[in-house]
Chain A
Amino acid sequence: MTKDYYSVLRRATSALAPSTEEARQAVYDRARLAIMDADLPSEQTRSERAALEAAIERIEADADQAGRARLQQEAAARRPPVVAAAHDEHGPTMPALSRPVLVGAGAAAIALLIVGIAGAVYWGGRTDRPAPAPATKAPAVVADRATAGSNQELSYVFKRQLVYYRSIHPVGTIVIAKSQRFLYLVRPDVVAMRYTIGVGRECANAAGLLVISAKEGGLKEPRLAAASGAGADPAAPWLNLGDTGHRIFGTNPPLVSGGDGCFRLVNEDAIDLYDRVSVGTRVVIN
């Protein structure tokens, strides 16, 4: 019942100019998010995700080969290194800013069609774009790929990070911005820790002020297992929100829908957040 992700991804990545690792990863992330947002039964999500990851590995293997072939060609042509560098410098700047976004959106649209989801997914609001790849590094990146394997690294924007954040809410408050798909933990000095979240359909109408009513799954061993990235871990920590039945919880591998509940984090992020908050923490959903 899984789809041919390989041809979808190949189409999307072959349109990238240049096809840097970073630009490709952005495409993959969008596809991963599309599956996550599809709100499929969890077994199906897992199988779709597995198929997607297999396709990503194939695409990356192709890219490795292409990269090696290109390096050989370049060596054969004995292009002066200066020219090569200049060429690479121009490559990523302009197209990297616009095209991967378009292509990423296109790939997303295709992925959506294939998975067979309508409407429920939030693409338009994601205006972030992959950071332009370090200009002169293209060959090195290709070489790195060999050791990187099928890493599931998220693009920078989706990673946990400190951001400039104005808020009227007291330090320590969690602010869940559903439409941005970010969760902020308010810190002093106009700063917040930002986490990327998945928002389940059952939380579309959640809003207002809640408090963390319980923390669970914070035991040492399951947390270690979760942090190792060794697959979905039912013991990954979660935070209950009032008596709503909604939770903030971790899933693994990154950003795959895991059962019910609405606010899904990567396991590592769930652990990080778990350690920073206590029962009674205010949670503002908007």
Chain B
Amino acid sequence: MKHFVLAAAVAALVAAPASAQTLKTVKERGSLNCGVSQGLHGFSISDDRGTWSGFDVDFCRALAAAIFNDPGKVKFVPLSANERFSALTSGEIDVLSRNTTWTMAREVSDGLSFAGVTYYDGQGFLVPAALKVDSALELGGKSVCVQAGTTTELNLADFFSNNRMTYDKVVLPTAQEALQAYQTGRCSVLTSDISQLYAERLKLAKPGDHMILPDIISKEPLGPAVRQGDAQWFNIVKWTVFAMVNAEELGVSSATIDEALKSGKPDVKRLVGTEGDYGDQLGLSKDWAARVIRLVGNYDEVFERNVGTASQLGIPRGINNLWTNGGIQYAPPIR
């Protein structure tokens, strides 16, 4: 068994001699190369001056803060859905933070490793508030607009049949036409991934007249991915995400980081680096997480300002709440 593990480790080193050096390469280069979407409201979008912002963007800024103590040392590489994986495996980018769903195939055949789930997305329903329903379970008999040939269409059929409800399906070739059909009243319900529904809702004449139901009928866990073969780099990305979630749970934010550095609570001390040498062991500094929290914020801050109720999208935390608040965001402890 030991021999096998050793052989596998050697094989991995031989197969990817350069890839095990990501941190070193990034430090030498002086900036992080981060793959993002070509423009998705709230997640990654660039303004007129070429400044990137968004939920996915902030996780790359957090990595830069942890490594360089400077969230600005990131080069953002906008990528199409087709280019994103090869950009990562070829070494063009160091990390992919582009609303990408964690699936098995992407790990076992595309050579990616997902470092965590920063956003639990899933299929949901947009309805006019005037419809007066609180739950997708009350949509029986309604007409539903859906984009053709997608898993969305299949999930929709499963959901209604599993809950013994009937519906009229209105199938449209594109997402845009589906929204249009919903707007003109050809259907009373629109279904898609929830993050997308929030963005679509903004395009409606009176967004406030429409609501997204709390039900989630499919799993779309989104998170940052790295290429396989560099355990140190994988740990850095993974624990940066975990540190942000743990910071929220411990009540440490960019506003309270100075107090936190003086805290006597053991779990806070381990997080901000006043106890232990977890940062050194990652190949970073003791205060790596404190830098992230000070310069970018904890998970809650990043969520709220980009996609949350403090943003234009207005997505409630919902399932992305901490596990202690009814959601499923949960980070292993730093210890």
Q: Which of A's residues lie within 8 Å of B, judged by CB?
A: 166-170, 189-190, 205-209, 282, 284, 286
Contact = CB atoms under 8 A, between A and B. Distances in A.
B163 A208 contact: yes
A282 B133 CA distance: 13
Contact of A209 (B137, B323, B324, B327): B137
Nearest to A169: B135
A208 B137 contact: yes
A13 B140 CA distance: 51
A209 B162 contact: no
Nearest to A209: B137
Nearest to B162: A207
B127 to A, nearest CB: 15
Nearest to A208: B163
B154 interface: no
A77 B318 CA distance: 63
B325 A190 contact: yes
Contacts of B83: none
Contacts of A167: 326
A205 B162 CA distance: 9
Interface string B300-330: 0000000000000000001100011111100
B172 to A, nearest CB: 27
Contact of B137 (A190, A206, A284): A284
Interface residues of B, number: 20
B116 interface: no
A208 B165 contact: yes
A208 B328 contact: no
Contacts of B137: 208-209, 284
A196 B264 CA distance: 44
Contacts, number: 35
Contacts of A282: 135
A284 B134 CA distance: 13
Nearest to B216: A168
B138 interface: yes
Contacts of A205: 164
Nearest to A190: B326
A167 B137 CA distance: 14
- Residue of A189, A205, A207 with highest tally of chain B CB at under 10 A: A207
Given A168-B135, A190-B326, A286-B163, 8 more contacts: A166-B323, A166-B327, A166-B328, A168-B319, A206-B164, A207-B163, A208-B163, A208-B165
Contacts of A170: 134
B193 interface: no
Given A208-B137, A209-B138, A166 B326 contact: yes
A208 B141 CA distance: 13
A105 B324 CA distance: 35
A169 B163 CA distance: 15
B111 interface: no
B214 interface: yes
A29 to B, nearest CB: 31
Contacts of A206: 164
A177 to B, nearest CB: 14
B215 interface: yes
Nearest to A166: B326
> What are the 5 closest A-B residue pairs judged by CB atoms, nearest first?
A209-B137, A208-B163, A168-B214, A190-B326, A208-B164
A286 B319 CA distance: 19
B163 A168 contact: no
A182 B323 CA distance: 21
Contacts of A189: 326
B139 to A, nearest CB: 10
Contacts of A166: 323, 326-328
